[in-house]
């Protein structure tokens, strides 16, 4: 998924990214309604990611924490990719996310 996102960002000449992060950064402090909408959007990515991790044997609390970190890493990587006009931050995030999830899933399976 992150590699597909990197392709989208790169092929758009670094114009496309996550509109939710843009709104959160620009208007989140100005409008409680927009802040809540952004929080809901992020939650709509975090919750199913946590559910997948939990289904792979990662504990519920750890799944939620890991899912939040993964979404945060991806969002940050999109911003850095656009600023540097390079997909490398996204590709680096993909590698780290895969490694982190793989380790956590393995740890959960051995418990």
CATH number for position 21? 1.10.357.10
Alpha-carbon Rg for the chain, nearest whole angstrom, is 15
Residue 108 has pLDDT above 70, yes or no: no
Residue 28 has pLDDT above 90, yes or no: no
Query: Helices 19-27 and 60-84 meet at what angle, rounded to 10?
Result: 90
How many C-beta atoms surround the C-beta of residue 51 within 10 A?
Answer: 14
Per-residue b or e along 68-91, where b marks 16 or more CB atoms closer than 10 Å to that residue's CB: bebbebbbebbbebbeeebbebbb
pLDDT tens-place string over residues 63-106 = 999 999 999 999 999 999 999 999 999 999 999 999 998 887 77
Confidence band, pLDDT 50/70/90 cuts, at residue 9: very high
Query: Structure tokens of 82?
Result: 């656009």
Instruction: Look up the domain containing 75 and give its range.
Output: 2-110
C-beta separation of 2 from 101 below 8 A: no
- Residue entry with tokens 């993964």: 70
Q: What pLDDT, on a 0 to 100 scale, did the predictor assign at position 107?
A: 72
Q: What pLDDT, on a 0 to 100 scale, did the predictor assign at position 110?
A: 59
The tally of domains found in the chain comes to 1
Q: What pLDDT, on a 0 to 100 scale, did the predictor assign at position 109?
A: 58
């Amino acid at each position: 998924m992150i590699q597909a996102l990197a392709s989208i960002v790169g092929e758009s000449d670094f114009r496309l990214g996550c509109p939710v992060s843009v709104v959160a950064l620009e208007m989140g402090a100005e409008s409680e309604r927009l802040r809540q909408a952004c929080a809901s959007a992020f939650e709509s990515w975090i919750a199913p990611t946590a559910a997948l991790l939990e289904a792979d044997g990662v504990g519920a609390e750890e799944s939620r924490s890991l899912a939040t970190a993964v979404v945060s890493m991806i969002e940050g990587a999109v911003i850095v990719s656009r600023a540097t006009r390079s997909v490398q931050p996204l590709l680096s995030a993909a590698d780290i996310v895969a490694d982190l999830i793989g380790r956590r899933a393995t740890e959960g399976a051995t418990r």
